[in-house]
Amino acid sequence: MVGDPVALTIRRTIPRPPTALIDRFRDTPTGFVTDAMNGRGSAHHAIQPLAPSMRCVGPAVTAFCAPTDNLAAMACLDFVQRGDVIVIAAQADAFSAVIGDLWALWAKRLGVAGIVVDGLVRDVPGLLDADIPVFARGHCANAGYKNGPGEINGAVSFGGVPVAAGDIVVADGDGIVFVPHAQADALARVRRGETLGFWDAAGLAARGAVRWID
């Protein structure tokens, strides 16, 4: 028999990329980042900034929220560091808001670099006054519950894109792109125009492991 569900699952330690690596994406348009990722990595186009000029870059702290619930979103503020981007995977819930202005103001005080929500927000005038980048599918006055189940810093799907805690979030007026932690250094070098070696052609040829047919 299945017992009562766990209300919240929390991973407290995540692999944040070095600041120097994050800085290499700071002034890079999202379109350039997706170009380096073979045209992929951008979340659903319906998730837009509250103001066109909003932009943020930083490591992802993820919060998975069940429909109409925001427990994980509320609790994740206890696990952020300065410069993080909070990624709230609310499964495109269109019934109730996940966060509001008081929550966003507290996130700003903690040094959070931005908030992206695959769902709705509320208190838009207050969110704009909080002076922190916020991306969402829309806004609604309905409030969510705090019952769970939810998860903090687990792997999530956000706007159709898989995201892990510690991935680099790059968000601007064109969209939200997630750079996998393991690929971030190589992608940053592609952006700078460096030539990367994806296979050891000379080494394979030296041991006769390549057959040339032209």
pLDDT at 210: 72
The half-sphere exposure of 10 on its side-chain side, counting CA atoms within 13 A, is 14
User: Residue 177 in 3-state DSSP?
Assistant: strand
Domain boundaries, the chain: 8-196
Helices then strands (H, E): number in the chain? 7, 14
User: Taking the domain 8-196, which CATH number applies?
Assistant: 3.50.30.40
CA angle at 18 for the pair 17 and 20, rounded to the nearest 5° = 130
Instruction: Please report, in tens digits, the pLDDT of each residue of the chain (214 residues total).
Output: 566 778 999 999 999 999 999 999 999 999 989 888 888 889 999 999 999 999 999 999 999 999 999 999 999 999 999 999 999 999 999 999 999 999 999 999 999 999 999 999 999 999 999 999 999 999 999 998 999 899 999 999 999 999 999 999 999 999 999 999 988 888 877 655 445 555 677 776 778 777 777 6
Tracing tokens 């903690």 back to the chain, one arrives at: 110
What is the pTM for the complete model shown? 0.87
| Rounded Cα distance, 102 and 115, in Å | 13
